[in-house]
Amino acid sequence: MKKAGILFSIYIILSSVSFSQTSIFQSGPEMNTKRMGQFSFTLPNGNVVLIGGHGTNFVSLNTAEIYNPTLNKFTQSSMQYIHDMAAACELSDGTWLIAGGSTDLGVAPGITGAEIFNPADGSFTACNSLVYPRCISTAVRLANNDVLIVGGWYNQTSATYGELYEASNKTFYATQALLTPRANAMAIATTDGGAVVFGGCQIYGSGLYESVEYYDPSTGLFSLLQNTLFPADAGWYIENEWFMRPMSQQRMKNGEYLISAIRYYADSTVYTLGTFNPDTKTFAKMDLATPLPNTGDGVSFFKGPLLDTAKNFAYWLAIKNNTDPWEMQLYTINLANKTWKTSGFYTTDYYWTSASINLLPNGNILISGGTTSSDYYTNFNPVDSTIIITGSVTGVNDKQANLPSQFSLSQNYPNPFNPVTIINYSVPKSGIVTISIYDILGREVKALVNEEKTPGNYSVQFNGSNLSSGIYFYHMQSGNFTQTKKLVLMK
C-alpha cells in the first residue's frame, strides 16, 4: 500500500509556555515487508532494528529490518528463527539476545529458539535454546551480565517460571516460580544485582496485575516487593505497549526509568507517567503540572513514551478516540518542570496498532508498521508504511533551558566496543570544536569533528572496523577547553 506523500506542519501548543516551533509528520520509507508486532531497539550508531513480528494473514516472520537514518532506508535480513513478539536484550559485548516468540500467534504461540544479533556485521547466529517455549515475554540484563527472561502467552508453565541466560556459558536455566504467573510482564534490573518484575496479565490476556516482585539472583527466588505499582495509590496498571521496546532505553538522566501506567474508571481511562529508582527499588507516580487528558477528553490511548536524545523530555503519542481513520497527536512532557504541550493532529489511511516507535539520533521519531483493519482482521492486514516526525518538538523557552552551561565530553558507549561506538559532548558557546582518536603511542588515527559548533548537545559516531583491537584515546578541544578519555576496541 502506498502512503500519502502529504507533509503536515503541526504548530505546537504549550500548556504554560508559548512559542512558535513546528513539527512535521511525513511519510517515511517503506519497509521491505508488511509487518506489525515487531520488537524494536535503537543501536548506538543510531540505526533502528525491527525484529520479526507478523505479516499478511497473521503469518509470523523470520526476517528483521534495519533502518539507517543517514540513508533513510530499510535493509532486510533473515533470522535463524521466526520471532513474533519475542524478548530481546543487549548483552555486555554489544550484541543482542533474541529469545522466543511465536510461530503462529493466533493458534500455537511460543518457541524455544534463540539467537544472537551482531550489529557489527548484521548477522544472526543461533544459540542454545530456551528451557520453555514462550512469547510476549521480557528480557533484562542483570548486573552480573546474565539475562533474566520472564513471561509467557497461552502457556501456563512459561508464565509461571522464568529462566536465566548465563553469559559465561551461553546456556539457559530455569528459575524458581514467580509469585504471579504473567504474560506481557516488564522487568528492570536493580543496582543490587537483582531485578523487579511488574505488570502483565493472565496468559489469555485478561486480569491486569498491580503487584511487583523482586528476583534475587543469590537465591534464585522471587519475593513480593509491593502489592500495588504506586504505593498508597492503588489501581494503576502498566499499559500494554511496553513489550515493544527494551526498558534499558527508558533510563533518564538521574538513573531512574520512565514508565507509563493506566487506571480504569467506569466512564474513562486515565494515563500517567511514573518512574522507577533501581537504587531504592521504588516506583513513583509523576505528578504533572496539568493532568493529562483521558478517554473522556477525547484520547483513546497513549503508546509507550520515548525519551529525547538529551533525556530532558518525554514524547508520548496519543490516538484520538471515535475517529476513523485514527488521528495521531504528539505530547511533549518537560521532565524538569512537569509541563506538557501537544501538536496538532495527523491522519493517514491505516491504524498504528502494534506499530513500533523509536527515537532517531537527530531527535526525529520513527513509527514503523501498523494495519489497515481495526476489527477482527486487525492482525491479518499489516502495512509496510512508516512515519517520521521531524523538526523541533521543544519550545523556545524549553530549548534555551536545555542548553549546556559548560563543556563536557562523555564516556563513549558502548565501551568496550566492536566496531562502532557513540561519543556525546556538550558545547556551551559557539566556536571551533575538534575531536580526534589517537592510538596508545599518541598518533592520530581518525579526526571525528573539526568544525564550528553552536551551543548544544551533540553526538558523533566512531567506527573502528579498520583498526586493531586495543586501547585508544579520544581528545576534545574548543578554545581553552581540552579533555581526553580512553576507549577500548575489542574484536
User: pLDDT by residue (tens digit) across 212-254?
Assistant: 999 999 999 999 999 999 998 999 998 765 568 898 889 998 9
Query: Which one of 376, 399, 422 terminates a domain?
Result: 399
Least confident of 142-156, 261-275, 318-332, 336-350: 318-332
Question: Are 258 and 290 in a shared domain?
Answer: yes
CATH of the domain at 409: 2.60.40.1930
Domain-embedded: residue 409:
yes
CATH of the domain at 124: 2.120.10.80
With the C-alpha atoms ordered 118, 122, 126, 130, is the resulting torsion angle positive or negative? positive
Q: What is the pLDDT of residue 241?
A: 59
Q: What is the pLDDT of residue 161?
A: 97
Least confident of 342-346, 365-369, 370-374: 342-346
Least confident of 98-112, 264-278, 436-450: 98-112
What does the buried/exposed string (b/e) look like for 157-193 if buried means 16 or more CB atoms within 10 Å of the residue's CB?
bbbbbbbbbebeeeebeebeebbbbbbbbbbbbbeee
More confident residue, 106 or 53: 53
Q: Is the pLDDT of residue 131 over 80?
A: yes
Domain-embedded: residue 2:
no
User: pLDDT by residue (tens digit) across 176-226?
Assistant: 999 999 999 999 999 999 999 999 999 988 889 999 999 999 999 999 999
Q: What is the pLDDT of residue 242?
A: 56
Question: Are 52 and 181 in a shared domain?
Answer: yes
Q: Whole domain around residue 417: which residue ranges?
A: 403-489
Distance between CA atoms of residues 165 and 64, nearest Å:
22
Question: Are 336 and 427 in a shared domain?
Answer: no
**How many CB atoms lie under 10 A from the CB of residue 219?**
10
Q: Is the pLDDT of residue 396 over 70?
A: no
| pTM of the shown model | 0.77
Q: Is the pLDDT of residue 392 over 90?
A: no
Domain-embedded: residue 228:
yes
Measured distance between the N- and C-terminal CA atoms of the chain, rounded to whole angstroms: 42
Domain-embedded: residue 64:
yes
Q: What is the pLDDT of residue 344?
A: 78
Distance between CA atoms of residues 404 and 455, nearest Å:
7
Report residue 204 as a C-alpha cell: 489469555
Rounded average pLDDT over 137-157:
94
Q: What are phi and psi of 296, to 5 degrees?
A: -70, -20
Number of domains in the chain: 2
Q: Where are the alpha helices (DSSP H) in 109-149?
A: none
Confidence tier at 23 by pLDDT (50, 70, 90):
low
Q: What is the pLDDT of residue 320?
A: 79
Report residue 390 as a C-alpha cell: 521531524
Structural Rg of the chain based on CA atoms: 22
Q: Are 192 and 214 in contact (CB under 8 A)?
A: no
Q: What is the pLDDT of residue 317?
A: 87
More confident residue, 383 or 239: 383
Residue 376: C-alpha distances to residues 200, 202, 249, 369, 373 (Å): 23, 21, 33, 18, 8
Question: Are 313 and 425 in a shared domain?
Answer: no
**How many CB atoms lie under 10 A from the CB of residue 315?**
21
The residue ranges of DSSP E strands in 369-430, in sequence order, are: 386-390, 408-409, 420-427
Domain-embedded: residue 279:
yes
Domain-embedded: residue 225:
yes
DSSP H or E stretch at residue 147: strand 147-150
Domain-embedded: residue 456:
yes
Query: Which one of 399, 416, 450 terminates a domain?
Result: 399
What does the buried/exposed string (b/e) look like for 269-298 if buried means 16 or more CB atoms within 10 Å of the residue's CB?
bbbbbbbbbbeebbbebbebeeebbbbeee
- State how beta strands 123-126 and 114-118 pair: antiparallel
Q: What is the pLDDT of residue 321?
A: 67
Question: Are 188 and 234 in a shared domain?
Answer: yes
Q: Is the pLDDT of residue 376 over 50?
A: yes
Q: Is the pLDDT of residue 437 over 90?
A: yes
Domain-embedded: residue 362:
yes
Q: Which residues pair with 367 in a beta bridge?
A: 357, 387
Q: Where are the alpha helices (DSSP H) in 199-248?
A: none
User: pLDDT by residue (tens digit) across 463-491?
Assistant: 898 999 999 999 999 999 999 999 999 88
Question: Are 305 and 449 in a shared domain?
Answer: no
Rounded average pLDDT over 356-360:
92
Order of strands, edge to edge, in the sheet holding 470-478?
A: 444-453, 431-438, 470-478, 481-489
Distance between CA atoms of residues 104 and 2, nearest Å:
27
Confidence tier at 292 by pLDDT (50, 70, 90):
confident
- Tell me, what DSSP letter sits at residue 484? E
Rounded average pLDDT over 106-126:
90
Residue 29: C-alpha distances to residues 4, 6, 217, 244 (Å): 12, 14, 44, 20
Q: What is the pLDDT of residue 7?
A: 33
Query: Which one of 361, 378, 399 terminates a domain?
Result: 399
**Over pLDDT 70: what percentage of the chain?**
90
Q: Are 151 and 449 in contact (CB under 8 A)?
A: no
Q: What is the pLDDT of residue 29?
A: 96
Selection from 330, 347, 311, 453 nearest residue 391 by Cα: 330
